[in-house]
Amino acid sequence: MKLYLDTAEINLIEKAVASGIISGVTTNPSLLAKAGQKDVAQTIKAICQLVDGPVSLEVIGLSKDEMVQEAKEYAQIDPRVVIKIPMIHEGLKAIKELKELGIKTNATLIFSTGQGLLAALAGADYISPFIGRLDDISAEGLDVVAELAQIFDLHGIESEIIAASIRHPRHVIGSALAGAHIATVPWKIVDQMVKHPLTDIGLEKFLADWEKMKNQN
Ligand code: G3P
């Protein structure tokens, strides 16, 4: 199981890279807008220089030709760039063509096992089920991850599952248990995973006892 950071904010990526816990980054148009970096190519290039792993960048075009044209441009930014393609009919055609061109793709906005299977069959290198958004509508996001993992394992499908739209630390654990290859998480979730009140209490006690011992006559 690998962790990617789901952000376009350089300062957060720097923090995550420093702790050695991430091996990639995913972005999307909303995350790039939130980061406020209008020069997308420059932002992605900077991210690629920080992270020695895949960096996903999403196309905006909605036709196969537009997606492929954008993908060719984005692929020139850095060898680490993976092209995010939305799971629509035109996206499947773009994934197929990009596979033939040797450009890696990440099929995004996946909300069903069927969508994930089709994207994998089209040739997507990564499949991104949005588990948080499924949970938001009282569906079971992790079930999609588990079914895709079982199908891919049964049939030797090599696409990797990136559990996305992670809402809390248990989504990360649940994705790992369900068989996701990767979870892409916001920094906030990383922070929540690090912290535990009993760790703080235990550390405080250790330090207090140490000080008590050092001050004994
Ligand atoms: O990678 C997809 C992710 O950024 C979507 O998350 O919280 O907008 O559902 P969210």
pLDDT in tens, 104-135: 999 999 999 999 999 999 999 999 999 999 99
pLDDT of residue 63: 98
Q: Give the pLDDT of residue 37.
A: 80
Enter the pTM of the model: 0.96
**Residue 122 carries which side chain, given as an amino acid letter?**
A
> Nearest 5°: phi and psi at 29?
-55, -35
Residues in contact with ligand 1 by the CB-under-6-Å rule are 6, 26, 28, 31, 130, 132-133, 164-165, 184
> Are the C-beta atoms of residues 41 and 20 closer than 8 Å to each other?
no
| pLDDT of res. 29 | 97
- Spatial separation of the C-alpha atoms in residues 59 and 40, rounded to whole Å: 11
Strands 25-26 and 182-185: unpaired
Distance 63 CA to ligand 1 centre (A): 23
Predicted confidence pLDDT, tens digits, the chain (217 residues): 999 999 999 999 999 999 999 999 999 999 999 999 889 999 999 999 999 999 999 999 999 999 999 999 999 999 999 999 999 999 999 999 999 999 999 999 999 999 999 999 999 999 999 999 999 999 999 999 999 999 999 999 999 999 999 999 999 999 999 999 999 999 999 999 999 999 999 999 999 999 999 999 8
> Which pLDDT score is estimated for 85?
98
CA separation for the pair 92, 116 (Å, rounded):
11
Q: Is 56 helix (H, G, I), strand (E, B) or coil?
A: strand
Q: What is the DSSP letter of 60?
A: -
* pLDDT of res. 154: 98
Atom 8 of ligand 1: nearest residue by CA position: 165
Q: Which of 34, 38, 45, 84 is flagged as catalytic?
A: 84
Q: Which two tokens stand for residue 123?
A: 């040739």
Cα separation, 147 vs 158, in Å, equals 15
At 191 the pLDDT is 96
Instruction: Give the pLDDT score at 54.
Output: 98
Q: Tokens in use for 99?
A: 């596979």
Counting ligand 1 atoms within 8 A of each CB, the residue from 130, 162, 185, 187 with the most, and so the one to mutate, is 130
Q: Are the C-beta atoms of 148 and 163 separated by less than 8 Å?
A: no
Which two structure tokens, joined as six digits, stand for 172? 């990360």
Q: Which pLDDT does position 147 carry in this prediction?
A: 98
> How far does the centroid of ligand 1 lie from the alpha carbon of residue 23, in Å?
18
CA 39 to chain centre: 21
Determine contact, residues 166/185, Cβ cutoff 8 Å.
Answer: yes
CA–CA separation, 183 and 165 (whole Å): 9
